[in-house]
Amino acid sequence: MTIVIDRLEVTESAFELDFHVRNDSENDAWLCDSTNVYGEPQFEVFLDEDGRTLVLRKRMDVPTNRMSFVQIKGRYVRLGPGETRRETVSLDLPVVPDVLFADVLPGEGLQELRRLVLEIGFYAEDLPGLARGILLEAARFHASGEMLDGDIVERYFSGFLLDTEFGGLAGFEKSNRDSDLSKEVVIPYTYQGLKGERCARLVVDGTAIPYDYAGPGY
């Protein structure tokens, strides 16, 4: 998976980024289109731990310490071999954090970030088929009526935990009732239980992007 920047412009009032993602493999890939189907942000925006890098991220297989009162659901879209997907990001300046999963670091007040990192998650396999297969297997075990040790399940059998996050196969079907599963699929945040997401990553040095920590409200 290749990310190519078509335009990067920083004006007095806005940060503008046009780019495209290309599937250079011989197989379908499922690209993260949104980390929050039912709200914002579509892209997470935050300051990296190095204190000098702006990160734009669309990935679901990431850790979090943040609490959410509603279930976060992302969307992945199929990108066939050789296909390209174009996207645009537009942010008001100074850029402020906008996150779902990432911790927000205090930063140094208003500062100029000299580095940009763009990260987009993808699966190099049939993602709807993977999710449905896990849920079908979990349903088979539930149907057996056997009692399972909760601690062992949490440590070794993440499929049962995924079954809870998805709401079972019925929950998966309900979340995707308006989706054409040959083209897109809605996946809930699973606290890194759904394995296999890879990351396409692009680094740009020499930027000059005004950034301002938004304060304790984050």
Judged by average pLDDT, the poorest of 10-14, 73-77, 190-194 is 190-194
How would you class 17 by CB atoms within 10 Å of its CB: exposed for 0-12, middle for 13-18, buried for 19 or more? buried
Q: What is the pLDDT of residues 117-176, one digit of tens each?
A: 999 999 999 999 999 999 988 888 766 556 566 666 666 567 888 888 999 999 999 999
CA distance to 95, 113, 115, per residue, from 50 (Å) = 17, 11, 10
Q: Which of the four CATH numbers 2.130.10, 1.10.1660, 2.60.40, 1.10.1200 does domain 2-125+196-211 have?
A: 2.60.40
**Token couple for 144:** 């057996």
Query: Which residue type does 212 have?
Result: D
The reported pLDDT for the residue numbered 131 is: 94
Residues of the chain above pLDDT 70, percent? 91
Domain boundaries, the chain: 2-125+196-211, 127-182
The strand order across the sheet containing 2-10 reads 2-10, 14-22, 84-92
pTM, 2 dp? 0.91
Strand partners, 79: 29
Q: Which of 127, 140, 138, 136 is nearest to 179 (CA)?
A: 127
pLDDT at position 79: 98
- Residue 154: the pLDDT is 60
CB 70 within 8 A of CB 127: no
- DSSP for residue 108: T
